[in-house]
A and B are shown apart, each in its own frame.
Chain A
């Protein structure tokens, strides 16, 4: 499905912005993990997950982010989520994950966290 196609763009040589589309679930979670893992291998220490279009996230989707966070942090970076809607944030809240994950309001805040504009 085209709306679930994951897109990416390079913000800096160590920052990759990933947009999972409208849904992050069983159908594309593995693709998300592969994409992030490959990016981490290629020196992208910061991955910004832009959730602006995301309307639905399942446990597999949450897992695709959880399972890759530690690698980025070990390399001095992080997985930074931004533009998450109230309903997406709710899923993270239900799982008590908000204090363990880096969640920023928008792209600007996310980029700042990654060291752009400081």
Chain B
């Protein structure tokens, strides 16, 4: 049984004039004051996507994040999806739930276990934050109903990567680490982005030797070994010379 969550819905007008945009922002502010778990942005009226629409979506997401609410796009048309995808923004929103699926009268969300549901968390690169984010990640995985052992492996992978970033990444204070969790029908993808020093966990290194680890009290590489052995695919790239982007895939079948 999926936990019932409080949701609120707001429609984005097709014509975003200064007045309609101000009205929208005011309404969004009022809804966020109710501290809902989810804000559904009804995009059904958007026919001609403008930069104002993107700006409104982006700012709505930022405002919602400040209150801990999730932004979900509903009835987003092909054009809007395409624009968001080109801008690499589509994955930042939970989406693909039509307004028909929402019982707005009762405020009941029928089912959050959609394969398209995405978790996006940004956190400070401090060791003290890891367990808080882990708890949120754990809740998210629980809703997906994936096999127990797979959940444990994903939690462990998350913990090891987050630890590497927070303890060894040398991320400047104030810069956030981004974690995006993207479930598909047969796998789940974790995407970590941080602005720390370059570090490629996939670069060749001597294999972990358990016998040597015991006899030589040499435990280096345990975390990376856990990551690479528990994941099905690990990919790293340095983006724009500024960001480490680590993508990890885990099959759950």
Residues in A lying within 8 Å of B, measured CB to CB: 25-27, 56, 58-60, 62-63, 66-67, 69-70, 86-87, 90-91, 94-97, 100-101
Given that A27-B131, A59-B160 are contacting pairs, would A97 and B210 also be in contact in the complex, using a CB cutoff of 8 Å?
Answer: yes
Does B149 belong to the interface (CB within 8 Å)?
yes
Query: Which B residues are in CB contact (< 8 Å) with A25?
Result: 131, 159
- Choose among B148, B167, B226 the residue that contacts A87 (Cβ–Cβ < 8 A): B148
A69–B214 CB distance below 8 A = yes
B226–A66 CB distance below 8 A = no
Q: Which of B127, B153, B215, B222 has the most CB of A within 10 A?
A: B222
Does B36 belong to the interface (CB within 8 Å)?
no
Q: A95-B225, A97-B210, A100-B210 are in contact. List 20 more A-B contacts (CB 8 A).
A: A25-B159, A26-B127, A27-B131, A56-B159, A59-B219, A60-B223, A62-B222, A66-B213, A67-B219, A69-B214, A70-B215, A87-B149, A87-B152, A90-B149, A91-B156, A91-B226, A94-B230, A100-B211, A100-B213, A101-B214
Q: How far is the CB of A36 from chain B (nearest CB, A)?
A: 13
Give the secondary structure class of A's interface: helix
Query: Which A residues are in CB contact (< 8 Å) with B153?
Result: 90
Query: Which B residues are in CB contact (< 8 Å) with A70?
Result: 214-215, 217
Does B63 belong to the interface (CB within 8 Å)?
no
A66–B214 CB distance below 8 A = yes
Q: How far is the CB of B251 from chain A (nearest CB, A)?
A: 15
Q: Which of A58, A70, A91 has the most CB of B within 10 A?
A: A58
Does B65 belong to the interface (CB within 8 Å)?
no
Residues in B lying within 8 Å of A, measured CB to CB: 127, 130-131, 148-149, 152-153, 155-156, 159-160, 163, 167, 208, 210-211, 213-215, 217, 219, 222-223, 225-226, 229-230
Query: Which A residues are in CB contact (< 8 Å) with B222?
Result: 59, 62-63, 66, 95
Query: Which B residues are in CB contact (< 8 Å) with A96?
Result: 208, 210
B223–A67 CB distance below 8 A = no
Query: Which B residues are in CB contact (< 8 Å) with A100?
Result: 210-211, 213-214
